[in-house]
Amino acid sequence: MEQRILKMQDMKTREEGGKKYLEGYFAVFGQTYEVWSGWIEIIERGAFARYLASGEDVKVLWNHDSNIVMGSTANGTAVLREDEVGLWGSVEINEKDQEAVNGYARVARGDVDGCSFGFDIARQEEWWDDEGIYHTKITEVDPLFEVSPCTFPAYKATSISARNQESFAEAKHRYEQIQEQKAEQWREMMRNRLKGV
C-alpha cells in the first residue's frame, strides 16, 4: 500500500443539525508532491473516479490507525467524491467515540493540519527530466483503502518513506540502464561513421 502525506486543503470543521463534520480535500490534482528527494509526483484529475464509482468501502482513519475509525463510506458516515480540485471528503463525527471527538477538536483548533491517503497505483506515467528529477503522474488509484487526518503532514523516518526510497532507487537504476544503452548506441553509430559505414 502506498501512502502520500500532505498539507490539508480547505480542511474545516462544521456543525449542522446537531451533528459535527470534518471536511476538506485529502488530495489535490495537479499539485506537485515530493515523494522523496529527486522524485516529484502529481495526481491527475480522474485518478479516483473509477474506484469511487465501484462503491467499495473506504474508511476514514485517524493517523492511519485502523483501531480509530472515524467513518466509513459503506454506512454513509463518510462521503468521498472527486471534483475539479481533488478528492474531497466529509466525515460525520461520532459523539460517542472520544477518539473521533478529540480528532475533531484537534483540527478545529489548528493543532492538526495534515492529511494522507492509503492506496495502490493502478496506472501511472513516469519520466526523468533533464535535471535528473524523476516524475510520476498517478492516473488511476485502485484500491483506495483509506483517508486520514494526520498529525505530521510530512515525515521521512518511516517505513513508508523507506519504501519510497526503494521505489526511487529502482526507477533510478532503470533510468541509468536506459541512458547507458543510449550511450552505447551512440558510440556504435560513431564507430560506424568513422569506418565509413
Residue-wise pLDDT for 12-64, tens only, equals 889 999 999 999 888 889 988 888 888 999 999 999 999 999 999 999 999 88
The pLDDT, as a whole number, for residue 163 is 53
The pLDDT, as a whole number, for residue 157 is 38
- Runs of H (alpha helix) within 4-119: 49-53, 98-109
Q: Does 180 fall in a domain?
A: no
CA distance 109 to 105: 6
Q: Does 163 fall in a domain?
A: no
The pLDDT, as a whole number, for residue 194 is 87
Q: For 38, list phi and psi in degrees, rounded to 5.
A: 95, 5
Q: Does 48 fall in a domain?
A: yes
- Are the C-beta atoms of 161 and 36 separated by less than 8 Å? yes
Quote the pTM value.
0.79
The pLDDT, as a whole number, for residue 100 is 96
Total domains, the chain: 1
Q: Does 71 fall in a domain?
A: yes
Mean pLDDT of the chain: 88
Q: Does 188 fall in a domain?
A: no
CA distance 123 to 128: 17
Identify the segments of the chain with pLDDT beneath 70. Answer: 5-10, 153-164, 197
Q: Does 32 fall in a domain?
A: yes
Q: Does 169 fall in a domain?
A: no
The pLDDT, as a whole number, for residue 105 is 94
Q: Does 168 fall in a domain?
A: no
Q: Which domain holds residue 50?
A: 2-155
